[in-house]
Structure 1
Amino acid sequence: MRAISGLWRWRRNPLRRTTDLVEAWVALVAVLLILVVGPVSGALVGGVAQDALQRSVREQRESRHLVTATVVRKLDRSPLDADPEAASGRDVRSRVLADWTAPDGTAHHGTVIASLQKPRPGDHFTIWTDQHGRMVARPLDSATAATHAVLAGFGAALLTAGLVEGGRRLMVWRMVRRRYARWDQAWDRAGPDWGRTGTGS
């Protein structure tokens, strides 16, 4: 990391400027913030995300139900469906007209996507529905929720490190601009005759 390269400026050196020392301190503070605040922010964000996602997992498990549907008849393939030759053998899905009973006891009839290779009338398959029999997506599982929480925490730690490094670079850039401005002023004071023979005599 470039921040560490500024630490050499602490050495005793007659050419060392005050800005060199300030830049070294800024580098040290940036390294400490990245090593301490980055992991802490990642852990906090990951913990909050884990709690929220696991709560969502529990709510989805309570509100979504796996019910058995019965094929009435197979429907023609939709033009929006994937090419059957491009689909993998284990992910075969068919559009069918099916009947199913909701958890509240109501009967339903409609078009669904069945995970059957060659559906025939009377075949059974499972679908996810809400309490009233409306089709819903599969509920989130705990492992996937935990993975998302870890990724959120890792992203927060990286974002914190990026912000700290960006702040350090901005401070160094401003110090360098100020240093160049002072050099320009010094050259202006020296005048156009600086370095010529007989100047100042």
Structure 2
Amino acid sequence: MSTTKRLWRWRSNPLRRHEDIVEAWVVLTVWVIVAFAGAVAGLVTARSAEHEFAEQRAHRHAVRAVLVAEAPHGVTADRQTDGRVRGSVRWAAPDGTPRSGQTMVDGGLKAGASVTVWQDDQGRLALSQPTGRAEGHVEAALFGAAAALAVAAPVFGAGAFARARLDRRRMARWDQEWDLVGPQWGPKTG
């Protein structure tokens, strides 16, 4: 398909209506906004997520903890789909002070069992281990794509709405013109 045919709305044409020109500008504007704003939103979001995951990896550390009470086994309100349940644990902070709290542990463990927990630099318990490097790249890419889509969807919606309004306006004008020209073509049938 030639460039001239692709850009038919921009060509000088005696049949071109004002709505065609407006529609061409609407389509161009929508694509420019989607391309640039979507790309910027996606990149900023992906970089922010990458930075957050890197911060987690830098400031969360695995430590050994002792399970204070037996971890329930079976269906409970705090159970997750991976078979882990909320359990009370005791561990030592980086400065050596004893700490206690709750985190997710494997179900069915007895009190006194040794478990691995994650803490930050201040010794506060983190509910999960940090996101790994490869998993972080994938998640950051997905967050970036979601952000780009979140920018693109309303812009495409606004463009579709504007084009629908232009189509209604074209149809109304066509009806008006047909009312003027139609009777000159002879009697109506039916």
> What TM-score range do you get, normalising by the shorter chain?
0.5 to 0.7
Cα 1:133–1:159 change in 2 (3 A) is closer
Cα 1:76–1:132 change in 2 (3 A) is same
Counterpart of 1:173?
Answer: 164
Query: Residue 141 of structure 1 is aligned with which of 132, 136, 152?
Result: 132
Counterpart of 2:77?
Answer: 80
Counterpart of 2:17?
Answer: 19
TM-score (norm 1): 0.60
Are 2:48 and 1:52 equivalent residues in the alignment?
Answer: yes
Are the equivalent residues in 1 in contact too, given 2:30–2:156 (CA < 8 A)?
Answer: no
Query: How far apart are 1:118 and its partner, in Å?
Result: 4.2
Cα 1:124–1:179 change in 2 (3 A) is closer
Structure 1 range deviating more: 57-66 or 168-177? 168-177
Q: 2:184 and 2:38 mapped to 1: Cα distance?
A: 59
Q: 1:188 and 1:96 mapped to 2: Cα distance?
A: 78
Amino acid at match of 2:110: R
Are the equivalent residues in 1 in contact too, given 2:92–2:98 (CA < 8 A)?
Answer: yes
Residues 90-101 of structure 1 aligned to structure 2 (within 5 Å): 91-94=82-85, 96-101=87-92
Counterpart of 2:105?
Answer: 114
Q: 1:132 and 1:79 mapped to 2: Cα distance?
A: 31
Provide the secondary structure at the position in 2 that maps to 1:104. coil
Q: 2:176 and 2:36 mapped to 1: Cα distance?
A: 45
Q: 1:94 and 1:178 mapped to 2: Cα distance?
A: 61
Query: How far apart are 1:69 and its partner, in Å?
Result: 0.5
Q: Which has the larger radius of gyration?
A: 1
String of CA shifts for 1:80-109, please: whole Å, max 9, x gaps.
1349xxx6xxx4435544321111211023
Query: How far apart are 1:51 and its partner, in Å?
Result: 2.2
Cα 1:96–1:62 change in 2 (3 A) is same
Counterpart of 1:125?
Answer: 115
Query: How far apart are 1:43 and its partner, in Å?
Result: 3.6
Segments of structure 2 that go 5 or more residues without pairing to the other structure are none
Segments of structure 1 that go 5 or more residues without pairing to the other structure are 1-5, 197-201
Query: Residue 151 of structure 1 is aligned with which of 135, 142, 146?
Result: 142
For the aligned residue pairs, the C-alpha RMSD in angstroms reads 4.4
String of CA shifts for 1:94-136, please: whole Å, max 9, x gaps.
5544321111211023454323x54234421111123343322
Are the equivalent residues in 1 in contact too, given 2:66–2:114 (CA < 8 A)?
Answer: yes
Q: 2:42 and 2:149 mapped to 1: Cα distance?
A: 12
Query: Residue 66 of structure 1 is aligned with which of 62, 68, 90?
Result: 62
Identity %: 32
